[in-house]
A and B are shown apart, each in its own frame.
Chain A
Amino acid sequence: MRYEIIHGRDAYDVEIKEVGSHTYEIAIGDAEPVRVDAFKNARTVYSILIGALQFEGSVDELEDGTLDVHVGTSAFDFSAIDERKKMLIGAGAGAASGKQEIRAQMPGKIVKVLVNVGDRVMLGQGLVIMEAMKMENELKSNIDGVVSVIEIGEGDTIENDALLVVVEPSEDA
Chain B
Amino acid sequence: MSANPPFEKVLIANRGEIAVRVIRACRELGIRTVAIFSDVDRNALHVRHADEAYLLGPAPATESYLNADRIMEIAKQAGVQAIHPGYGFMSENASFAQRCSDEGLVFIGPKPDTIESMGDKVIARQRMQAAGVPLVPGTTEKLTDQEAMDFAREIGLPVMVKATAGGGGKGMRLVREDSELESSIQRARSEARASFGDDSIYVEKFVDEPRHIEIQILGDSHGNAIHLFERECSIQRRHQKVIEEAPANRMPEELRQEMGRAAVAAAKAVNYEGAGTCEFLVDSQFKFYFLEMNTRVQVEHAITEMITNVDIVKRGIRIAAGEPIGIAQEDVSISGWSIEARIYAEDPEQNFRPSPGAILAYRPPGGPGVRNDSGVYPGAEVPVNYDPMVSKLVTWGRDRDEAIGRMRRALREFVIKGIKTSIPFHRVVMEHPKFLEGHYDTGFIDSEILPSGATALPPNQEEKDIAIMLATIAAFKRDTDRANRSSQSTGGSSAGSAWKLAGRRARMRGR
Residues of chain B within 8 A of A38, CB atoms compared: 469-470, 473
The main secondary structure of chain A at its interface with chain B is strand
Q: Are B471 and A28 in contact (CB under 8 A)?
A: no
Q: Are A56 and B457 in contact (CB under 8 A)?
A: no
Q: Are A5 and B468 in contact (CB under 8 A)?
A: yes
Please give the distance in Å from A130's CB to the nearest CB on chain B: 10
Select which of B384, B388, B471, B476 is within 8 A of A18 by beta carbon.
Answer: B476
Please, which residue of chain B has its CB at the minimum distance from the CB of A70? B467
Interchain CA distance A34-B465 in the complex, whole Å: 11
Q: Are A137 and B353 in contact (CB under 8 A)?
A: yes
Is the CB of A36 closer than 8 A to any CB of chain B?
yes
Residues of chain A within 8 A of B464, CB atoms compared: 7, 71, 74, 76
Select which of A42, A46, A57 is within 8 A of B506 by beta carbon.
Answer: A42
Interchain CA distance A56-B467 in the complex, whole Å: 10
Taken residue by residue from 386 to 417, chain B's Cβ proximity to chain A (1 for < 8 Å, 0 otherwise) reads as 11100000000000000000000000100101
Residues of chain B within 8 A of A166, CB atoms compared: none
Interchain CA distance A18-B507 in the complex, whole Å: 19
Q: Mark the stretch among A59-67, A86-94, A95-103 that contacts chain B.
A: A59-67
Q: Are A74 and B384 in contact (CB under 8 A)?
A: no
Interchain CA distance A44-B360 in the complex, whole Å: 8
Q: Are A69 and B479 in contact (CB under 8 A)?
A: no
Interchain CA distance A48-B412 in the complex, whole Å: 16
Q: Are B388 and A135 in contact (CB under 8 A)?
A: yes
Interchain CA distance A1-B479 in the complex, whole Å: 10
> Which of B457, B464, B469 has most A Cβ within 10 Å?
B469
Please give the distance in Å from B136's CB to the nearest CB on chain A: 26
Interchain CA distance A74-B43 in the complex, whole Å: 32
Is the CB of B212 closer than 8 A to any CB of chain A?
no
Q: Are B463 and A72 in contact (CB under 8 A)?
A: yes
Is the CB of B223 closer than 8 A to any CB of chain A?
no
Please give the distance in Å from B355's CB to the nearest CB on chain A: 9
Please give the distance in Å from B39's CB to the nearest CB on chain A: 15
Q: Are A76 and B467 in contact (CB under 8 A)?
A: yes
Residues of chain B within 8 A of A106, CB atoms compared: 354, 356, 384
Q: Are A16 and B463 in contact (CB under 8 A)?
A: no
Taken residue by residue from 347 to 360, chain B's Cβ proximity to chain A (1 for < 8 Å, 0 otherwise) reads as 00101111010001
Is the CB of A9 closer than 8 A to any CB of chain B?
no
Please, which residue of chain A has its CB at the minimum distance from the CB of B508? A42
Given A24-B473, A73-B457, A134 contacting B387 (CB threshold 8 A): yes
From 340 to 391 in chain B, residues with beta carbon under 8 angstroms from any chain A beta carbon are: 346, 349, 351-354, 356, 360-361, 363, 378, 384-388
Is the CB of B466 closer than 8 A to any CB of chain A?
yes
Q: Are A14 and B387 in contact (CB under 8 A)?
A: no
Residues of chain B within 8 A of A48, CB atoms compared: 466, 469-470
Q: Are A133 and B473 in contact (CB under 8 A)?
A: no
Please give the distance in Å from A115's CB to the nearest CB on chain B: 17
Taken residue by residue from 445 to 473, chain B's Cβ proximity to chain A (1 for < 8 Å, 0 otherwise) reads as 00000000000111110011111111111
Please, which residue of chain B has its CB at the minimum distance from the CB of A105? B353
Please, which residue of chain B has its CB at the minimum distance from the CB of A130? B353
Select which of A43, A69, A82 is within 8 A of B470 by beta carbon.
Answer: A69
Is the CB of B79 closer than 8 A to any CB of chain A?
no
Residues of chain B within 8 A of A42, CB atoms compared: 505-507, 509-510
Select which of A1, A36, A132, A137 is within 8 A of B469 by beta carbon.
Answer: A36
Q: Are A57 and B356 in contact (CB under 8 A)?
A: no
Please give the distance in Å from A62's CB to the nearest CB on chain B: 11
Is the CB of B336 closer than 8 A to any CB of chain A?
no
Residues of chain A within 8 A of B457, CB atoms compared: 73-74
Please give the distance in Å from A69's CB to the nearest CB on chain B: 4
Given A41-B506, A45-B361, A75 contacting B473 (CB threshold 8 A): no
Q: Are B361 and A73 in contact (CB under 8 A)?
A: no
Please, which residue of chain A has its CB at the minimum distance from the CB of B509? A42
Residues of chain B within 8 A of A41, CB atoms compared: 506
Interchain CA distance A74-B458 in the complex, whole Å: 7
Please, which residue of chain B has its CB at the minimum distance from the CB of A58? B417
Please give the distance in Å from B226's CB to the nearest CB on chain A: 34
Q: Are B475 and A28 in contact (CB under 8 A)?
A: no
Please give the distance in Å from A80's CB to the nearest CB on chain B: 4
Q: Are B468 and A57 in contact (CB under 8 A)?
A: no
Q: Are B351 and A82 in contact (CB under 8 A)?
A: no
Is the CB of B436 closer than 8 A to any CB of chain A?
no
Q: Are B467 and A71 in contact (CB under 8 A)?
A: yes
From 131 to 173 in chain A, residues with beta carbon under 8 angstroms from any chain B beta carbon are: 132-135, 137-138, 140
Residues of chain B within 8 A of A44, CB atoms compared: 361, 363
Given A43-B361, A67-B475, A75-B424, A12 contacting B468 (CB threshold 8 A): yes
Interface residues of B (CB under 8 A from A): 346, 349, 351-354, 356, 360-361, 363, 378, 384-388, 412, 415, 417, 424, 427, 456-460, 463-476, 478-480, 497, 499, 505-507, 509-510
A–B Cβ pairs within 8 angstroms, 6 of them:
A12-B468, A14-B468, A14-B469, A21-B499, A58-B417, A140-B351
10 additional A-B pairs beyond A42-B505, A71-B463, A106-B384, beta carbons within 8 Å, are A5-B468, A16-B476, A22-B499, A26-B473, A45-B417, A59-B470, A71-B467, A73-B427, A82-B475, A135-B354
Interface residues of A (CB under 8 A from B): 1, 3, 5, 7, 12, 14, 16, 18, 21-22, 24, 26, 28, 34, 36, 38, 41-46, 48, 50, 55-61, 67, 69-76, 78, 80, 82, 105-107, 132-135, 137-138, 140
* Top 10 closest pairs, chain A to chain B, by CB: A74-B459, A80-B475, A42-B506, A133-B354, A74-B463, A59-B474, A78-B471, A71-B463, A69-B467, A71-B467
